[in-house]
Amino acid sequence: MTWINALLQGVLLGGLYALFATGLSVMFGVMRIVNLAHGDLSILAAFIAFALVDSMSMNPWLALLVTIPVLAAFGYSLQRLVLNRVQGSDVLAPLLVTFGLSIVLQNTLLDLFSSDSRALDIGAFGTASLRLSHDVSVGWFTLTTFAVAVAVLAGLRLFLSRTAFGRVMRATSDDQEAAQLMGVNNRHVYGMATAIAFGTLALAGVFLGMRTTFDPSLGPGRLIFAFEAVVIGGIGNVWGTLLGGVVLGVAQTLGAQVSPAYSVLSGHLVFLAVLILRPRGILGVKGVQA
């Protein structure tokens, strides 16, 4: 039963990884940008929520609702004012810009909040669990995280396939020049894609803060997990993001059953195996697929 419990916990952990990976997948799928500040932006979201809770005694769930549009607006502005200026045939320029943003975010958060660990207290809900058997139980918060991840990905899929702007986004992903010739404002499309990516990233960051402690140095590790989940599931595939997160989460929890030292290593080994056997990922496609 211990292994079954570890498997179940890994699946639920995959929901959090899928939330982290969604924004990375959207930005790469639409604009071919690998955002190296991805993990640090999630930690920024967690600290924004913490500041709202700490200074205004705001409920953490309400702070989450405030943080999401703040990050989305920041994402749209960043894309329109900065990333659009460096985006083009040279893939190195956006990498350097987002790397610089990562360094700035880490040092700014360190200066404002110090290196101390913080957490978002959600009360009894954070420790409450649903007992499935004598030896197996799952936390209500982890179940909620997984359900939110599924809802976000389902909503994103419907948005891409059923709305006019979603189809424009897919068309821009497939052929940017052709879409521009048809009158599409690529800069606005890119801005909206980044806003969606940052909004889901804010959700992931605040959920991380509710699940465990965080500090300004935690961002790069979140970036690695998000990148691995995207590659494992398949770049450009919406449901592949969830699959990649679940595979990574299960690999880590099962590895931890063998030895705690193998937890992160197991995830890295699975990522390497998928990269060798299926470079596009398990469900990988070109561009963004609904």
Query: What are the CA-CA distances from residue 59 to residues 141, 156, 211, 255 (Å)?
Result: 16, 27, 15, 36
Report the 10 Å Cβ neighbour count for 235.
Answer: 26
What pLDDT does 282 receive?
86
DSSP secondary structure string, 220-233? HHHHHHHHHHHHHH
pLDDT, tens digit, 9 for 90 and up, residues 28-64: 888 888 899 999 999 999 999 999 999 998 999 999 9
What pLDDT does 33 receive?
85
What pLDDT does 151 receive?
96
Residue, of 135 and 70, whose pLDDT is higher = 70
What pLDDT does 284 receive?
67
Which among 20, 25, 26 is positioned nearest to 40, based on CA atoms? 20
Arithmetic mean of pLDDT, 191-220: 94
What pLDDT does 20 receive?
93
- Across all residues in the chain, what is the average pLDDT? 89
Q: What is the dihedral of CA 160, 165, 167, 172, to 10 degrees?
A: -110
Residue 183 burial (10 A CB sphere; 0-12, 13-18, 19+)? exposed
d(CA 56, CA 76): 26
Residue, of 183 and 146, whose pLDDT is higher = 146
Give yes or no for residue 288 having a pLDDT over 70: no
CATH number assigned to the domain covering 2-128+136-277:
1.10.3470
CB 134 within 8 A of CB 3: no
What pLDDT does 289 receive?
54
Q: What is residue 130's three-state secondary structure?
A: strand
pLDDT, tens digit, 9 for 90 and up, residues 82-132: 998 888 767 788 889 999 999 999 999 999 999 899 999 998 898 888 887
What pLDDT does 285 receive?
58
Share of the chain residues as helix, strand and coil, in percent rounded to the nearest 5: 75, 5, 20
CB 113 within 8 A of CB 216: yes
What pLDDT does 152 receive?
95
pLDDT, tens digit, 9 for 90 and up, residues 118-158: 999 998 898 888 887 777 788 899 999 999 999 999 999 99
